[in-house]
Amino acid sequence: MTVAGSRLNQDQENVVMHFVDAIPQNKQELIFLHSGGGTGKSTVVRALNRVINALGFVQANSCPTGVGATYLDKGKTFHSLFRAYTEDLNASTTIDEIRKELGGDKLRLVVIDEVSMLKALFLLLLHRWLCSMYSPTKPFGGISILLLGDFLQLPTVGGNPLYRVMYDNVSQDDVQVHALFRQFRVIEMKQQHCAGQCEIQKKRLQSFRALPQTYPKFGSRWCEEDMQKFRPMTEDIVEGLTTELTRAEIMADWQWTTNATCLTTTNLDRSVINNTIANIYGIRKRQTVVRWRRQFRKVFDPSVKDFLTTFLYSEDRYPELFSYFVFDAPGQILDNGNGNVSYGVANGTACKLIGLGWDDPKIEKAMHDLISQQCALWSIGEQCIIDIPSPPDCIIVEVKIANIKKWPLHLNLSKQPNKTVWIPIGIKSNNRGGGIDKDCITLPNNEKLSYRAHAVDLSFAVTIWKSQGGTFDRIISLLESYDTTKKQRLTYELMYVTFSRVRNASGFRCMPLLTSIETKQRLRRLRPSIYATRYRMDINDEGYWDAANATTKKVNQPKS
């Protein structure tokens, strides 16, 4: 089958035909496409879009994350599309608004991508909302549902992942989610597209996805006996994860510093790498490097202000308190509030840094004059790292938009609005409960101090959570934190996502290791979530979850 010029393989065609055969006959399909990254799940969604639209019906695409939603045609976050923040639709017109956004009577299919990051209770919310809008006596109102994702990837940050409620029903709502989720037929696609040209990468990804030969002895944890039998972190995988980037490789190919993406687990490590590479990038590209101190949200008493700021503003001690800007450098938007998913901009969207802006014209002129003066020195041999005393009110970035014509002209600062989109990104406003912002440092006495950070930053380094769903030519993994007082967080899911983001094994390196033997030992001990493993093992030959007689099950061939 060929759809919009794309040739589908047999696995992809089978999934598409499930819905193509059912929807014209007004039949419901509930399918969970559980497959690893790079197997062509997005191609299936695009093909279904084309076919279902051609039939005169509507497909609604959503994802738990903003950046994931931008990869989907007319994609929206699940939270916004289904008003996940609303507990009751009966007392408002919200239900009519949702129904209209979904396509009204023409809706036939709802797609949810990255379901490993979907809170289990959101599946129940989806069922209730669709039943309120369509058929109240059928699951999900009789609307077909396609879930896509991989339980080996990162789980939801809050709430239970879907696989967990299949074994731990701790509330009445969990019992209902359990009953709904077990109705989905599970289909796996095994053919690798992203790593299709690299046999080493394909072999390692397949090893990552291996299952135990016998069912786990205990339901909630890996016992020593199981761990001896099941060692998915093979020596080949460990070798691939711990291949260190060498000085010789960097000197032979500077792309390792300017075009590679480093994946970290903490904002501190991300800051250290971004700050360091910003200087290298500026030198290699002959671009000005601008630096400023991020301001604290707390107002200090004048008697201690000078002492505290002198102590705190040390890049060795608190690198996250310093922000760097380099013209034309790669960046990543960090806050949903500064973009619109329907336009293609969201939390995690890649961008390019273009300029700095200040609300006060006098301050803006003074900062531009300072930068120009320092640039003049650089032209005669001085290194140009410019410290500006007044942080910008916004950072102007260029974003790539699939359909640039739909971007509102009044929201575009570009001088060529028909070719590029420039938008200003301000200070983050996201705030956790209790008045503590996500952006904060921890003092020696464990007190936390919040600071003001823009909702965009350099992306020479990004957290692993921001990389899920993306594909990169070169990745550098940070397996040891720069904070020597803490051990780097290493989980099976983090390592799988890190390694599966790169197309070719030759494009994967890790930062030089200080404790190589210990790090390798930690990697060898990693196992995937036992609940996710049990779920995958409990899929019967018909493709449905069935935990009956699970303790007698054996696996002859690892599932992909």
Residues of the chain with CATH 3.40.50.300: 2-187
Q: Give the pTM.
A: 0.87
| Mean local confidence (pLDDT), 482-503 | 88
Taking alpha carbons only, the member of 274, 432, 411, 263 closest to residue 338 is 411
Q: What is the residue type of 376?
A: A
Residues written for the chain? 560
CA 321 to the chain's CA centroid = 24
Would you state the structure tokens that stand for residue 449, as one six-digit string? 């101090």
- 213 three-class SS: coil
Of the pLDDT bands very low, low, confident and very high (cuts 50, 70, 90), residue 554 is very low
DSSP 259: T
CA 446 to the chain's CA centroid = 29
The pLDDT value given to residue 560: 36
pLDDT in tens, 26-79: 899 999 999 988 888 888 999 999 999 999 999 999 999 888 888 888 888 898
CA 379 to the chain's CA centroid = 40
Any residues with CB less than 8 A from the CB of 96 and at least 6 apart, and which?
none
Q: What b-and-e string marks burial along 439-475, b requiring 16 or more CB atoms within 10 Å of the CB?
A: bbbeeeeeeebbbbbbbbbbbbbbbbebbbbbebebb
Class level of CATH domain 2-187 = alpha beta
Which tops the pLDDT comparison, 264 or 196?
264
pLDDT in tens, 399-421: 988 778 888 888 899 999 989 99
Would you state the structure tokens that stand for residue 150, as one six-digit string? 């991989």
pLDDT in tens, 259-318: 899 999 988 899 999 999 998 898 888 888 999 999 998 888 887 778 777 889 999 889
The pLDDT value given to residue 549: 52
